[in-house]
Amino acid sequence: MPVSNADLLKELRIERHQRDDHGGGSSRVPWIIVAIIVAFALLGGAAWMFLAHRAMVVQTATAIAPTSNNENGAVLQATGYVTARRQATVSAQITGTLTDVLIEEGDHVKLGQVLARLDDSAYKAALDTAKAQAAAAHAVVAQYRAQLSQNMRDATRSASLASRGLVSKQAAEQADTLTDTTRSQLASQQRQAASADAQVTEAQVNFDYCVVRAPFTGVITTKDAQVGEIISPFSAGGGFTRTGVGTIVDMDSLEVDVDVNEAYIGRVKPGMAAEAVLDAYPDWTIPAHVIAIVPTADRGKATIKVRVALEKKDARIVPDMGVRVSFLEVKPAANAPQPKGVLVPANAIVQRDGHSVVFVVDGDKARQRVVTPATQTFGELRLLPDAVNAGDSVVTSPPTDMHDGSDVQTKTATR
């Protein structure tokens, strides 16, 4: 027998006695479930907002200006730092109190120029004492020399008188003995006088050590001591004694040390042409060449150090500057034209909405820029004719969820 819709509705209707049976404390259970669901939703929303605004930790690279050298066979690129082959922390060779410090950071000094002076009163007194003792020793030498001369004459007369029988042979022999004794005393005193002269020389050297001079021509990079401080060539505990007056660098000895991955070291040869681009001046290319490959490897970094000479010196080049070096197959021709744009790592270019884009770090934000990479390649780098400037920091391997305006935190670059 078919069942009508009215009969079905009657089956679904809840009678009063059925509602009463389910009353009391059981009716609050659905509300508790609803409260739990709402709480989880709020927590989830808060977590989503936190994660959405958390800064992405990214690695960056500096966009560099291309040069004609990139087109002439750059077989490898590496980064490193400007170093000075000749630099020294200038100190005194004695312990003393500084009375004058005549240098400041950035001062150009010449070989032998006075940099500082120590209190020399004690050393001056020791020098004067040594000179006085030497003078006394030489006076005794003169005395013995005069005495020897007299004894030699007396011995000659005694020998003459003894030959004529006027005095005994014993008297003549005694005169000869006295002459020999005086001669020995003179020789001994002459050695003592020489020792006194050596003490004068030593005292003079110590006195001269009170003046600190430049060991070579260069530039003062640090000033490490002030007037009134004690300086010593030996390290002392407690921090009350300085071991140096300052640091001097020979700017003509600047070169570049780069770490080359040991997998690519076969591409680098001594004397090989190269070019250097300072991080501080990305539009400035410095001609260079390889000096030597240091025959030892860094086990931790799997790199080998290469020394690169800068063929042009400039006041803008200072120690510890970051630099990128391109190793070239051939030396580029002079006045070769340079391609327009900048070079960035290939992994900095990604696709977004069908466009090639890069993300440039602007403060703590990532700014998306649409780019059109050039067809020509430069090893691991790509040429961007526009949209990015030399010196801009671009994000390498951007995360897929990065967008224009994303918060970013830059990793510390390792070289």
Stretch 99-104: mean pLDDT: 94
Q: Give residue 11's pLDDT band: very low, low, confident or very high (50, 70, 90).
A: low
CA nearest 259: which of 288, 285, 294, 284? Answer: 294
Which ranges in 65-220 belong to alpha helices (H)? Answer: 68-71, 121-163, 169-208
Q: Give residue 36's pLDDT band: very low, low, confident or very high (50, 70, 90).
A: confident
Structure tokens, 333: 């021709």
3-state class of 329 per DSSP?
Answer: coil
pLDDT, tens digit, 9 for 90 and up, residues 323-382 = 999 898 776 655 556 677 888 888 999 998 888 999 999 888 999 999 988 877 666 788
Task: Give the pLDDT confidence score for residue 90 in this predicted structure.
Answer: 92
Stretch 161-176: mean pLDDT: 86
3-state class of 403 per DSSP?
Answer: coil
Block residue for tokens 């819709």: 5
pLDDT, tens digit, 9 for 90 and up, residues 346-363 = 899 999 888 899 999 988
Stretch 36-52: mean pLDDT: 60
pLDDT, tens digit, 9 for 90 and up, residues 278-293 = 998 988 889 999 999 9
Please check whether residue 324 is in contact with residue 279, taking contact to mean a CB–CB distance below 8 angstroms: yes
Beta bridge partners of 395: 60
Task: Give the pLDDT confidence score for residue 379 in this predicted structure.
Answer: 66
Structure tokens, 362: 């602007």
End-to-end CA, the chain: 88
Task: Give the pLDDT confidence score for residue 48 in this predicted structure.
Answer: 52
pLDDT, tens digit, 9 for 90 and up, residues 251-274 = 999 999 999 999 989 989 999 999
Please check whether residue 275 is in contact with residue 266, taking contact to mean a CB–CB distance below 8 angstroms: no
